[in-house]
Amino acid sequence: MRIRNVAWGGLVTAALLSGGWAQAAGDSAAAVERGRYVVSTSGCNDCHTRGYPESGGKVPLEEWLRGNPVGFSGPWGTTYPANLRLVAQSLDEAQWLQAARREMRPPMPWFSLRDMSDEDLRAVYAFIRSLGEPGEAAPEYVPPGVAVNTPYIDFVPRNLPNRQAAR
């Protein structure tokens, strides 16, 4: 199956040009709080917030979901956790729902988003849009075989048992 990817770079550019990082008028306080809960318990910050795992989750809210310059390198190339603030600012709610359900490059657990309810995805969208000024875009995807000039995590399993022998 061919992996489909959201064109995050173009979306980020659109967000920067629009300057639209104010909370959407229809976002209720309850939806924003629900979105914060879903983000906090679903592991979004683990990758999309710089320094989150290393600090035991003690990163100020002002820094949440701004992306990460540390990539994940594997057979697919090197991917970087997107600045979700920029992504959410560049999409309307319907586009957010559609983008969240598309297959993405590893290690993004896109299947978790695919299986979330529309209500939870809308709440996440409202929360992210409430976070304020988005900051800078994460580095761009690097295809396999191309040199990477940023920090990255080698995301390749080692010493796997031979699947043929296990049968």
Predicted pLDDT of residue 17: 32
- Yes or no: say if 155 and 73 are a contact pair by the CB < 8 Å rule: yes
Residue 82 identity (one-letter amino acid): A
- Yes or no: say if 24 and 114 are a contact pair by the CB < 8 Å rule: no
Predicted pLDDT of residue 148: 96
Alpha carbons 10 and 18: distance in angstroms, whole number: 12
Q: State the total domains in the chain.
A: 1
161 token code pair:
């048992």
Residue 98 domain boundaries: 26-141
Alpha carbons 98 and 4: distance in angstroms, whole number: 12
Q: Quick check: pTM over 0.75?
A: yes
Is residue 110 a part of any domain in this protein? yes
Is residue 12 a part of any domain in this protein? no
Is residue 133 a part of any domain in this protein? yes
- Reduced to 3 states, what is the DSSP secondary structure of residue 22? coil
First to last CA, the chain: 25
Strand 152-154 versus strand 71-74 pairing type: parallel
Is residue 160 a part of any domain in this protein? no
Is residue 32 a part of any domain in this protein? yes
Question: Sorting pLDDT into bands at 50, 70 and 90, what band is 160?
Answer: confident
Cα 44 versus chain centre, distance: 7
